[in-house]
Amino acid sequence: MLHKNTITTCGIITVLFFCLCSLSLSARHIIGGEVTYECLGVSTVDPTANTYFVTMKIFRDCDPTTGGAFFDDPAIIGIYRGSINDNYLEQTLFVNVLSITNIIPDTPQCIQNVPYACVEEGIYTFTIDLPRLTNESYYIIYQRCCRNNSIINIYNPEDIGATYYVELTPVAQAACNNTPVYNEFPPIIICKGVPLVFDHSAIDMDGDQLVYSFCAPENGGGMGFSGDPCEEIVPNPPCGPPFIPVPFIQPQYSPGNPMGGNPQITINPVTGVIEGTPDKVGRFVVGVCVDEYRNGVKFSTVKRDFQFNVTDCDPTVLAQIDGGDTLFFSQGAYYLSTCGGKELYIENKSIDINYIETFEWRFNLLGTPYFNNSDWSPTINFPESGRYLGQLLLNPDAGICSDTANIIVDIYPEVFANFSFVYDTCVAGPVSFTDLSLSETGIETWQWQFGVANGIASAQNPEFTYGIPGEFPVRLKVIDKNLCEDVINKTITYYPAPPYVIIQPNKYDGCIPADMLFTNLSSPIDSTYDIKWYFGDGTESEGIISPSHTYNEAGVFDVKVEITSPLGCFVSDSFPSLIKTYEPPVANFSFTPESPDVLNPTVNFTDLSTDAERWFWKFDRFTTTNQQNPTFVFPDTGLMRILLVVTHPEGCKDSMVQFIDVKPVITWFMPNAFTPNGDGVNDGFFGKGLMRGATNFNMSIWNRWGEQVFETNDPTEEWTGRAQQTGGMSPAGVYVYMVSFMGPRGEKFEYKGYATLVR
């Protein structure tokens, strides 16, 4: 149930106006967006439904020098129901923009020549009731074209649009789940060569586990030239999943490495912190996903699609240091620590050295002042273990060109990291790790990295199950209560057999030819395992983990997989009726009359398609319909493009285009006599007819002596019987007329005859 206080329903005129405006306002300034939802509980109207408050944020470039920004108002939002590969449109909503806010760039204090940047955030919200589904998802989708044409990490950015969506999974519906919400918007301008540390974390009101990653932004919409409804600038309605990722320019860029560089920009999967030092100027499309887990079950994914703007900055003075075993910056101070020694080298990494005229190091060494203004990077001997406070001052009292780094140094005893591990070498299962580390003050933190993506743990003696076989570098970092730390690395060799055979798809219904990619999700496996596939149509595959296969005949097919590990362990499984294929639809239609014209512009269309369940007609630039056998009245003449797209009950499509020539009609009739006696009846000589589109009209009248007595280029002007309309009245008798003009398609018309002037 829709709540009308939050959703605007547009009428036909409004929608057409919106679509026409979209064509003229296809400014390529889209920057990013995201969709989240909050479950408000069981609907007060329908106890089988939940009430959701949906928020969509869209970000656009508002720089007036590049055309400025605009927000769709209303935005067209589609709600689909089903799976990622098998879904249908449930509802189409028209949601007005709630607010538009300018995001102010947060640039460092001592930066010169920062370029102008303008970003606006448009927020759309609506409340909706959705019945709870046990085995299907909802997809809330918004699409439009296009992105900034100066983006450098994807192909043809000026023609690439965006899809912003969120999936309401069955488990999320059952639990009345709330998606995570990102805390901050990324910085609008970041500087090349300056370290970037941005907290891109989200908050989840349900307290679920959040895992962060770079991911591929989705394409959506187009320039509206192909005739495909999904390729319109603003698809109405938005098209359902699956979606196509934006085309990154490879190998320089990818969804996981959107800004290139060496080393590349990274995102911490646990904290969501983005770190790195950009080394290239330009605009970069970046996608960040936060996956939400509860008790090991994935509930949702919130994808933010945004744009990083990297520019050459001119920093003046910035106090920075490095050194110690650990270093971090917090609440305006650098924290350094070292373990097992009292001598500490502090590296001065301040910028810009060309603007630094004087510097001072100051420390309090147990009551004894330490002052040094000659060593750029000093080595300081601290008297004993403990905490020491100090400062690095650059250009003291020089205003904006001065800076101070507050320094806190901790001297601690040494810590030693060590561990052992054990696992079953044939049966896939967890690896048990045992901590053997030593510390005088006691270890408080264990940071395990198991050599695979998202393979981390913080327990002292963890267990970890590898999803793939191989040799993995395992790293243990231990930290004691004084933040003293040590790291040890060991390699584990892991080649067991998978406990289960798992493949995708787990079901397929579609039309032939069915080009299938069977993805082997069994783990652990790799290319060293012997893998055999039986596709159910009499063909097999061996030695390929995830093979491709084409089904060219309609039918039902069983699939079987056999896996043998390098150590000889064997596992297999069969998947009955996994693949079902059908004959594809064929689009076809006829129309009558075959040659319509301006006097008979009504055309009846007859669908001749086979195996079709749904129809989409587009009548040139005028309108669309979903009727099977529509009738359309053409409001204009010319060559008209008719598109028919038909859809099979299983979702596959076919299309056909035909052209209809709606012809103009020209008629012209001349009288044979007139009586210019001033009685108001038949006083003038002129013709009549249908002349729409006619040009170069000329009518001339001649007497029997070959003299021209009248000429006009106006088809509505009549001859009054007077010579050239101003002389004396011509005598009664027979005159010759000649009429010529050009038709709307360049055809020549000529008429000759006699005009009798009667007194």
CA distances from 135 to 138, 155, 167, 172, 416 (A): 10, 37, 13, 11, 51
Section 255-266 average pLDDT: 89
Dihedral sign (CA 543, 546, 547, 551): positive
Burial class of 331 by CB neighbour count within 10 A (0 to 12, 13 to 18, 19+): exposed
pLDDT band of residue 111 (cuts 50, 70, 90) is low
**Has residue 546 got a pLDDT over 50?**
yes
**Has residue 108 got a pLDDT over 80?**
no
pLDDT band of residue 463 (cuts 50, 70, 90) is very high
pLDDT score at 21: 37
pLDDT band of residue 403 (cuts 50, 70, 90) is confident
Tally the C-alpha atoms within 13 A of residue 457's C-alpha that lie toward its C-beta.
19
Tokens of 91: 């509802």
Q: Which residues contact 368 (CB under 8 A, 6 or more apart)?
A: none
**Has residue 627 got a pLDDT over 60?**
yes
Name the more confident of 227 and 490. 490
Share of the chain above pLDDT 70, in %: 93
Q: For the ranges 14-28, 177-191, 318-332, 403-417, which has the lowest average pLDDT?
A: 14-28
Q: How many CB atoms lie within 10 A of CB 244?
A: 12
Domains of the chain: 12-314 (no CATH), 316-412 (2.60.40.10), 415-494 (2.60.40.10), 503-580 (2.60.40.10), 589-657 (2.60.40.10), 673-757 (2.60.40)
Dihedral sign (CA 464, 468, 471, 477): negative
**Has residue 164 got a pLDDT over 60?**
yes
Return mean pLDDT, the chain. Answer: 88
Q: Rounded CA gap, 458 and 455, in Å?
A: 11
Q: How many CB atoms lie within 10 A of CB 588?
A: 16
Task: Calculate Rg over the CA atoms of the chain.
Answer: 38
Tokens of 39: 């479950």
List 379's β-bridge partners, or say none. Answer: 345
Most confident of 305-314, 425-434, 543-552: 543-552
Tokens of 463: 């267990």
Q: Which residues contact 273 (CB under 8 A, 6 or more apart)?
A: 197, 198, 199, 200, 201, 267
Q: For the ranges 2-16, 161-175, 664-678, which has the lowest average pLDDT?
A: 2-16
Q: What is the pLDDT of residues 188-232, one digit of tens each?
A: 888 887 778 899 999 999 999 999 999 999 999 888 777 889 989
Phi, psi (rounded to 5 degrees) for 174: -65, -35
**Has residue 467 got a pLDDT over 60?**
yes
pLDDT band of residue 742 (cuts 50, 70, 90) is very high
CA distance between the termini of the chain: 82
Q: What is the pLDDT of residues 287-328, one digit of tens each?
A: 999 999 999 999 999 999 999 989 887 667 889 999 988 899
Q: For the ranges 1-5, 162-166, 329-333, 652-656, which has the lowest average pLDDT?
A: 1-5
CA distances from 731 to 679, 680, 683, 687 (A): 17, 19, 14, 21
Share of the chain above pLDDT 90, in %: 58
Burial class of 75 by CB neighbour count within 10 A (0 to 12, 13 to 18, 19+): buried
**Has residue 254 got a pLDDT over 90?**
yes
pLDDT score at 19: 36
Q: Which residues contact 163 (CB under 8 A, 6 or more apart)?
A: 141, 142, 143, 218, 219, 220, 221, 238, 243
Q: Which position has the token pair 């319109």?
A: 232
Q: Rounded CA gap, 558 and 549, in Å?
A: 13
Q: What is the pLDDT of residues 327-359, one digit of tens each?
A: 999 888 999 988 877 889 999 999 888 888 899
List 343's β-bridge partners, or say none. Answer: 381
List 212's β-bridge partners, or say none. Answer: 290
